Amino acid sequence: MERAREEAGLKSVMDIAAIRAMLPHRYPFLLVDRISELEAGLRIVGIKNVTANEPFFQGHFPDRPIMPGVLIIEAMAQVGGVLAFKSVPPTGRPVVYLTGVDKARFRKPVVPGDQLRLEVEVLNRRPPFWKMQGKAYVETDLVCEAELTAMVTEEKSENR
C-alpha cells in the first residue's frame, strides 16, 4: 500500500513533531494531529482526533459536548497552512494568514470520540493569495465544508 501511495505521488505521513515545526500554533489551539496525504500545490489530508478532554467542551456544551464549528474551520485552515508551507519554495520563513471564509456549511455535530478527516484542495493560487476548498469528514459523513482564502507572506524580522 505504501509503495502504491508513493507511485501515485502521495507523500507519507507527517507526524505531530513535523507539524509543530511548521505551524506556530500550540496547545490548546493546535488542531491537527497528523497529515496522512500531501500533494504539494494541490491537496492535503489531515487528521484531528477529538477527545473528551478538549478544553472547549467545558463550555460548549457541558451536558452535550459539540466541537464548535469555528474550530472545525480553524482545523481546516491549519491543514491548508501546512499545504501552503510545503508548496512554497523556501526563501525565508513563510507565514500563513487566514483572510476569508466563504460558503461555510455545517452538516452534522462533531463530538468526543470522533476523528475528523480534513481534506483541503487548492482551487486557485495568485501569490500571495490562495483559495482552497476544505471538507471535514467523520468516517464517511461530511460534517463541514467551506472555501478558505489565505495569504502567504514571509515572517518579518524583529529588527525591521
Q: What is the pLDDT of residues 48-71, one digit of tens each?
A: 999 999 999 999 988 999 999 999
**Helices and strands in the chain: count of H runs, count of E runs:** 3, 6
Q: What average pLDDT does the chain have?
A: 90
pTM of the model: 0.88
Would you call 60 a catalytic residue per the annotation? yes
- List helix spans (H) across 68-124: 69-87
User: What domains are defined for the chain?
Assistant: 2-154 (3.10.129.10)
What integer pLDDT is reported at residue 1 of this predicted model? 47
Mean pLDDT of 14-26: 94
Marked catalytic residue, from 60, 86, 125, 131:
60
For 103-124, how does the pLDDT look when each residue is reduced to its tens digit (9 = 90+)?
A: 999 999 999 999 999 999 999 9
What integer pLDDT is reported at residue 12 of this predicted model? 57
